[in-house]
Each structure stands twice: as structure tokens, then as C-alpha cells.
Amino acid sequence: MLGWALTFLVIAIIAAVLGFGGIAGAAAGIAQILFFVFVALFVISLIVNLMRGRGTRV
């Protein structure tokens, strides 16, 4: 999912450089939403791992 966020961010940057304001804004908005969804899922997975009480085994 982070890959999708980075893809839309690159599309937004390229569109902004070329002057396509509407496309750049839409792609940047999608990238931002995907990034925050990714961060929320990451934090939830960390909390669930801590609740289980299992550590990493060496």
C-alpha cells in the first residue's frame, strides 16, 4: 500500500511540473490518504503484536 502512495506522489509531482493542476491535486490527495491509511495499519499491527506478548526469536 505504501507503494501505491509513493506512485501517486510521483504522479502528482510530475503533473505539477508539467502544469496539470487538477491531476496533481487529485493524485496528491490520493497519495496522502493512502499514506495515512498505511501508517494507521502499521500502528495497529504494532499494538496487536505488543498485546500478544510475543517477542522476536533469535
Write out pLDDT tens, residues 4-50: 778 878 888 888 888 877 888 888 888 888 889 888 988 898 888 88
- Please identify which residue in the block is written with the cell numbers 494507521: 40
Q: Which residue range forms the structural domain that includes residue 38?
A: 2-52
- The one-letter code for the residue type at 19 is G
CB atoms within 10 A of CB 21: 10
Q: Does residue 29 fall inside a structural domain?
A: yes
Q: Look at the chain and report how many structural domains it folds into.
A: 1
Asked whether residue 14 is domain-assigned, the answer is yes
- Report d(CA 27, CA 32) in Å as an integer: 9
Residue 58 lies in a domain: no
Residue 33 included in any domain: yes
Q: Choose between 17 and 53: higher pLDDT.
A: 17
- Residue 28 C-alpha cell reads as 496528491
Report whether 4 contacts 40 (CB < 8 A).
no
Confirm whether 48 is domain-assigned: yes
Confidence label for 58 from pLDDT (cuts 50, 70 and 90): low
pLDDT exceeds 60 at position 55: no
Which pLDDT does position 57 carry in this prediction?
A: 63
